[in-house]
Amino acid sequence: MFSKSKINEPGPKQAEATPAPAAAPAAAPAPSDYTSSMPKAKPAASLLSSDLHITGNVKTTGDIQVEGTVEGDIRAHLLTVGETATIKGEITADDVVINGRIVGRVRGLKVRLTSTARVEGDIIHKTIAIESGAHFEGSVQRQDDPLNPGGRKSAPAAAPAPAAAAAPTPSAAVQAATKAHKAES
């Protein structure tokens, strides 16, 4: 197809190349066979431009680059928050790169706050990197599976529950309501 020999060959061989395009339509299904067996190319990241304001949740298995404003939760494979972006909601992504402003919880396997990042909320991560100059107000918690909201919290939460039930200290209002209910019975 790209060999020099075909380009430099005399006229009779080029004439033989003329019937080849006629055979090409018959061979057209073959490239589709190759593409189905080969891994598909990764699509480009979806870009939410700076003039875009979204109210609602955004969910994709692909990549998103946000430059505008999103009021809602975002779920993606790779989320890049641009310097002009503002997100108010929960973010869940395998990889999160924050250059802009986030108000809400961030969940990610890899979370990176750049020097221009402004985050107000909790970050639950497997690995985290915070550059000098980033502004962060909230808590940071490492989990092996930060993408699962009930991940590690479910097992420890079950253990303290019996201890809490064993020593409850009801308020005076609860005690009064209980006495009133017993008196009615």
Place of tokens 């505008």: 68
Quote the pLDDT of residue 155. Answer: 39
- Residue 126 inside a domain? The answer is yes
Each residue's pLDDT tens digit, 68-83: 999 999 999 999 999 9
The full length of the chain comes to 185
Q: Are residues 12 and 90 in the same domain?
A: no
Domain count, the chain: 2
Q: Are residues 27 and 66 in the same domain?
A: no
Bridge-based pairing state of the strands 91-98 and 106-113: parallel
127 with 108: CB under 8 angstroms? no
Q: Are residues 33 and 57 in the same domain?
A: no
- Residue 97 inside a domain? The answer is yes
CA distances from residue 56 to 73, 79, 124 in whole angstroms, order as listed: 7, 16, 22
Each residue's pLDDT tens digit, 13-61: 444 444 545 544 554 555 555 555 566 777 888 999 999 999 999 999 9
Give residue 33's domain range: 4-37
> What is the C-alpha radius of gyration for the chain, rounded to an integer number of angstroms?
29
pTM of model > 0.75? no
Q: Are residues 26 and 105 in the same domain?
A: no
Q: Are residues 52 and 119 in the same domain?
A: yes
CA distance 82 to 130: 16
